[in-house]
Structure 1
Amino acid sequence: MKIKKHSVMVLPLVLSAVYANTALGAGFQLLEQNASGLGNAYAGSGVDTENASVLHFNPAAMTYLPGIHVTGGVTAIRPSFKFTDNGQSVTPFNTKGTSGGDAGGWGVVPNLAATWQLNPRWYVGLGVGVPFGLKTEYEDDWVGRFHSREFEIKTININPTIAYRVNDQWSIGAGVNWQRIDAKYKLAVPVVHPLLPFPIEGDAKVDVNGDAWGWNVGVVFQPVESTRIGLSYRSRIKHTGKGDTNIAVQGQHMVAADARATVKLPDTAILSVSHQLNPRWTLLGDVSWTGWSSIPELTIENQGLPSNALDLQFRDTWRFALGAKYKINEDWTWKVGVATDQAPIRSAEKRPTSLPDNNRRWYSTGVQYQHKNMSFDVGYTYLYLKKTPIHNLEPGRGLVSGEYKSKGHVIGMQVSASF
């Protein structure tokens, strides 16, 4: 660890800001573990066994995939976050700034999965996906630069699974998860300089990463041929992030230090239903819960410096989705879905600029083309968010007050094969 004495006063504040936003950024859960479910707004996600990617949502559902199944896809996500100042925002130096432009940008989420039937009762699978991710980037001179200039978090999750078909009605499954997290963060900070009687504006950059293990289980019940009901659960994953914080003033490096923080990414539970109404129509539904209250606060341990705690007050969230599939002919299927999705942020006072999230509605559609043992999916979702207020005041970082106009576009493609 390297610390220059004249900068010790500002470092705890910087690390607190960084890890607060890292935890909040991780609050953006990515449901896009396939593109085939996108057209249905992921309704019926744990029992809609179109391809091997279902193992992410419910490992027990693999028992409805005979032989070998392989699938891969990519989803492009374009969120938009445009801030409007209400005239009250101010930096720690009582200066103004720009509105920051559009903090959103394109992101790409890949997925890959495979299942293998070992015998009439036992199945194994492997899934690779991105369960959490976010990137926001503002103009350098925007009014909230002491809260965030740029934030990016990426994860990768590798999930080997196993399932057992108990009988014609019941199946069970389980898996383990290895997950890696990488985060980068940039923001402006007040810096105490020994040659000046007052603080000046500096720049902080943080890179942290870590990995951890979790588990998931599921069950599928099929009371009649036309109906399936699935229940699945994913455990919390406790991450300990380690990395470096670097502070510079006008491009001149001043501070480098080690930092450490622990965060429990939330557990999730999904209840899924599918019902084949007739040879052409299939109805789908989902109710899911995410335990974001696993992050009530965040404590940052700084080597050689006092610890800091931040009160986040995350709430648990619910998501409800309904969808339908219509089989046009032997080759083509049309999909449609709607969903309502809660955000874990409680209030405008707790809303961070790195994650200006709000409750959203999903409007989804898509098509699937089937040719012999291959299928091709294309899906699209429009995410609607109402205007989102923010009034975030934190000591040493200033006040960001106003509202965000936000929306999102999600486009996905999937290719699947069975053998």
Structure 2
Amino acid sequence: MRNTPWALKTLSVAIAAGCVSTVHAAGFQLMEQNASGLGNAYAGSAAIAENASTIFYNPAGMTYLPGFNISAGVNAILPSFEFSDNGDSRNPTALGGGAPTGGNGGDAGNLGIVPNAYFSWQVSEKWFVGLGVGAPFGLMTEYDDDWVGQYHSNKFDIKTININPSIAYKVSEQFSIGAGLNWQHIDAQYKKKVVVPVVPGALYLPGDADLNLKGDAWGWNIGLMLQPTEDTRIGLAYRSKIRHSPDGDTDIDGFAPGRSLSYDASTNVSLPDSLILSAVHQLNERWELLGDISWTGWSTLSELKIENDGGPTDTLPLDFRDTWRVALGANYKFAPKWKWRFGVAWDQSPVHNPADRPTSLPDTDRWWFSTGVQYAVSKDTQIDVGYTYLYLRDANIDTDSGDALSKGRVAGQYNSSGNILGIQVSTRF
């Protein structure tokens, strides 16, 4: 099993201790790399550059932050995924098929706590450096025991930690560029029922599988900032794919008294690249308008294939599509120290077919309805509080995950929603 360098592993563990993975942006991408943009549904994220969290969205934005800046916050996310069986779900055919005896699995959503921290420093008139720490991808679904889809998933949990050193250069008063490196750690767990071929072709028994994988990889990001007028700012930012090859082990037990199986396990997965185009316009002394459009390359995830050394390969078909997200927002300064934020966004899901909708990620298109306030404690310190309600349309599922023999069939409908509450403190020295 790959070993993470001790210092980075220690830092990852410290951050992960406060980060329960969840899912709320489309796919399992986490938009919530600050709470200051939450009230705008992250409209204008690559152009706003109002605190050090611009390091994640567009590192070129550091050129708008004189001195030494710190921004840190946390988002609490409570998603809900409730499944209803339509009567067509079936047990694995290796176990005789037939209707499963389990229930609907309860609410597979779990409360998630996602922290972030950013630091930027102006080292000269034109040069700026920074460091960001966050969790750009995360997912956790967990069902009640003995539900109808237990051979597809009981628990699916992905955590990432991303450390992002960055640099920016102010070419002129109208144009800036920035770039960063990303060291990313991934930690994944997958638990479900499996069919164990005790006598292949003749005797199959149900067992409990527990897969654990860890690994790390590198990526990069780049951004441009253009200020065509005093009141208008445009940002363009790109984050690269990150190709992970985590490894670990799969343990299987429960299929016979005193018997268990263990395999060295590994997989290869490319977490998607993304591109954001944002704009911010200061309409007058009170009103500020924000908007952006973003693209995410989810089609890199056509399947998740787990290789078990000396054992069976477990494949989860995904057939993800590339997605688009559009967001509009506004800020209204209603008092000298107070700013009201609001925004709306449409977030397209990479899952587009009931046959490809995995129980581990019962995703569908969603709308963000957001609001929040900012309070200026002083000239250099602000506190932001934001809230978002996620509306997800009901999503049908009818899948055997490509293997009716060992997984059976899950058929029905998901009713889903989400709530996000965040707080961010930003200051300058």
* TM-score normalized by the length of structure 2: 0.89
For residues 60-79 of structure 1, the C-alpha deviation after alignment (integer angstroms, 9 at most, x for no partner) is 01100011110100000110
For residues 277-323 of structure 1, the C-alpha deviation after alignment (integer angstroms, 9 at most, x for no partner) is 00000000010000011122444433235766654321000000000
Distance (whole Å) between structure 2 residues aligned to residue 141 and residue 307 of structure 1: 24
For residues 162-181 of structure 1, the C-alpha deviation after alignment (integer angstroms, 9 at most, x for no partner) is 00000010000000000000
Give 2:33's aligned residue: 33
Aligned residue pairs total: 396
Distance (whole Å) between structure 1 residues aligned to residue 340 and residue 174 of structure 2: 28
Q: How far is 1:229 from its partner? A: 0.3
1:42 maps onto 2:42 in alignment: yes
- Which of these residues, 357, 360, 370, is aligned with residue 376 of structure 2? 370
Contact 2:67 2:428 in 1 (8 A): yes
1:217 maps onto 2:222 in alignment: yes
Distance (whole Å) between structure 2 residues aligned to residue 321 and residue 147 of structure 1: 34
Distance (whole Å) between structure 1 residues aligned to residue 191 and residue 301 of structure 2: 22
Give 2:14's aligned residue: none
- Which of these residues, 97, 108, 120, is aligned with residue 125 of structure 2? 120
Contact 1:26 1:132 in 2 (8 A): no
Partner amino acid, structure 1, of 2:367: R
Distance (whole Å) between structure 2 residues aligned to residue 387 and residue 346 of structure 1: 13
1:111 maps onto 2:116 in alignment: yes
Secondary structure class of the residue paired with 1:192: strand
Give 2:397's aligned residue: 390
Give 2:387's aligned residue: 380
Unaligned regions of 5+ residues in structure 2, if any?
Answer: 2-24
Give 2:321's aligned residue: 315
Give 2:72's aligned residue: 72
Give 2:11's aligned residue: none
Q: How far is 1:185 from its partner? A: 1.3
Change (3 A) 1:339 1:193: same
Partner amino acid, structure 2, of 1:33: Q
Secondary structure class of the residue paired with 1:382: strand
Q: Which moved more, 1:151-160 or 1:292-301?
A: 292-301
Secondary structure class of the residue paired with 1:127: strand
Partner amino acid, structure 1, of 2:324: W
For residues 53-97 of structure 1, the C-alpha deviation after alignment (integer angstroms, 9 at most, x for no partner) is 011000001100011110100000110000001000111132331
Give 1:334's aligned residue: 340
Q: Where do 1:166-315 residues align within 5 Å? A: 166-193=171-198, 198-249=203-254, 252-305=258-311, 311-315=317-321
Partner amino acid, structure 2, of 1:295: L
Q: Where do 1:51-70 residues align within 5 Å? A: 51-70=51-70
Partner amino acid, structure 2, of 1:389: N
Give 1:409's aligned residue: 419
Distance (whole Å) between structure 2 residues aligned to residue 253 and residue 56 of structure 1: 48
Distance (whole Å) between structure 1 residues aligned to residue 140 and residue 52 of structure 2: 28
1:82 maps onto 2:92 in alignment: no
Change (3 A) 1:352 1:415: same
Give 2:365's aligned residue: 359
Identical amino acids, percent of aligned pairs: 57
Contact 2:250 2:308 in 1 (8 A): no
Distance (whole Å) between structure 2 residues aligned to residue 64 and residue 324 of structure 1: 20
Change (3 A) 1:407 1:188: same
Distance (whole Å) between structure 2 residues aligned to residue 275 and residue 196 of structure 1: 67
Partner amino acid, structure 2, of 1:405: N
Give 1:347's aligned residue: 353
Distance (whole Å) between structure 2 residues aligned to residue 282 and residue 26 of structure 1: 27
Q: Cα RMSD (Å) of the superposition? A: 1.9
1:100 maps onto 2:105 in alignment: yes
Distance (whole Å) between structure 2 residues aligned to residue 263 and residue 87 of structure 1: 34
For residues 3-55 of structure 1, the C-alpha deviation after alignment (integer angstroms, 9 at most, x for no partner) is xxxxxxxxxxxxxxxxxxxxxx9941000000000000000001112210011
